[in-house]
Amino acid sequence: MTGTDLVEVRAGVYHDSVSLMRLSRALGDRPGVEVAMVAMATALNVGLARDAGFAVPQAGPSDLLVAVRADTASALREAAAELDRQFAALAMAGRSAATAAERAPRTTRAATRTFEATLALVSVPGEHAFAEALDAVEAGLSVMIFSDNVPVEQEVLLKERAGERGVLVMGPDCGTAVVGGAGLGFANVLRPGPVGLVAASGTGAQQITCLLDHAGTGVSHVLGVGGRDLSAQVGGRSTLAALDALDADPATELIVLVGKPPAPEVAARVRAAVAGLATPVVTAMLGDGPGDLTTAAERALAALGRPVPDWPSWPNPDRPNRDRPDAEDRPDTDRPDTDRPGAVGLCGLYAGGTLCEEARLVAGTDTFTDFGADEYTLGRAHPMIDPTVRLAALRQASGVVLLDVVLGHAAEPDPAAALVPAVEEVRARGTAVVVALVGTAADPQDLHRQAEALRSAGASVFLSNAAAARHAARLTGSDS
């Protein structure tokens, strides 16, 4: 500890990313603390700390990094004492968990003998996911692999074995599933209904199901298959199995297949499989033909003979930003949501990979970042849980900023609380903010409260990601 900076590297100490995120927030909320980062020392996290001006010594991803800055030495000492208390509490919780673990089953197979399970959820660091998932498959369970950073060769082996055992592997990097009404991973609160989804995309599935929910149409199941399932290497193994499963489900009247365009040979296999199903299928493959995820939801409603509603939006206030100290004296020309062709550039800061790709295709620009990609989540919680990295990028942005906010179980409990100050900050210097808000009225974050908070901060908010992207493009004059 030097002056008002505390930097520590604790060798070989591990805590899960969500616990470390909560600890960082607890320290950051203390009086006098300006910056607080407690995270595994991945290259990304070390880089962020050094960018913030911390002198970080050599460290590796299996080490724990602590970087705290306060405005006074006394505030830093108090933060350090709180850090020690928090670590002691984590250690005690770990010992309690270890004691409970001594009585709990030690393997997935052992657990199947204790509990009447048919599905296992694997959420461990990617290098350990294969062993746990294979144990589940060998025990005769279907498995959802929430973990990312799993080698594709291991994915292929798991799905080959699952095919032999007659079970389904959802993932790796399967962020969203709904099985029999139970949401797994990042899951919105959805009404039950006749639509089943096979999704090589988590946030793509969330966008479609949330739009359907707004239109009064629910889902039977959402079977995620992982973003690589339609690649040539994986061969669509889980997609084909999931299509068969939904076709055999009496509660499913329509199947929606969502993802990015498959490899040509995989596309042929999928088309042949779809042609042989008794259940009609709506296909939504981004970049493969016209349309977007919103159009896919509309086609699904039409296939069911149900009306398409007007998709909600919450335009930003038609007034200058009154938080600016000189707002009364300035002409109202720097309002972001005035259509000024060619005035500014567009950047997308996304948490959802498929939403990011859809927005890029709709807006026609490549200046987009998917903060949920593997390189950003190694050693960190997903940005739908921990927005730290994306918030830092938002505060540096200019022109027009387009971003997604995804609600539902497992996502941040109040995303607007963290976003509103950043939105107000960039709005004060003339940056426009457009938000795609993906959620349902029943989600725990309260869709309408989130929308109103973001709108009041100066953002334009849309339930449709495609509509948000088109609006953002109009603000730059780049729309066609």
Find out whether 465 and 404 touch, Cβ atoms under 8 Å: yes
Neighbouring CB atoms inside 10 A of 237's CB total 23
Is pLDDT at 205 greater than 80 in this prediction?
A: yes
Per-residue confidence (pLDDT) for residue 335, from 0 to 100: 38
Per-residue confidence (pLDDT) for residue 341, from 0 to 100: 36
Which domains does the chain possess? 5-103 (3.30.70), 108-303 (3.40.50.261), 313-476 (3.40.50.261)
Per-residue confidence (pLDDT) for residue 96, from 0 to 100: 57
When mean pLDDT is compared across 40-44, 320-324, 339-343, 455-459, the lowest value belongs to 320-324
Per-residue confidence (pLDDT) for residue 99, from 0 to 100: 53
Note the residue count of the chain. Answer: 480
Is pLDDT at 1 greater than 70 in this prediction?
A: no
Find out whether 142 and 165 touch, Cβ atoms under 8 Å: no
Is pLDDT at 165 greater than 90 in this prediction?
A: yes
Per-residue confidence (pLDDT) for residue 467, from 0 to 100: 97
**Model confidence pTM above 0.85:** no
Find out whether 63 and 81 touch, Cβ atoms under 8 Å: no
pLDDT higher at 206 or 126: 206
Is pLDDT at 344 greater than 60 in this prediction?
A: yes
409-455 pLDDT, tens digit each: 999 999 999 999 999 999 999 999 999 999 999 999 999 999 999 99
55-72 pLDDT, tens digit each: 999 988 889 999 999 999
89-134 pLDDT, tens digit each: 887 766 655 554 456 677 777 777 777 789 999 988 888 899 999 9
Per-residue confidence (pLDDT) for residue 148, from 0 to 100: 86
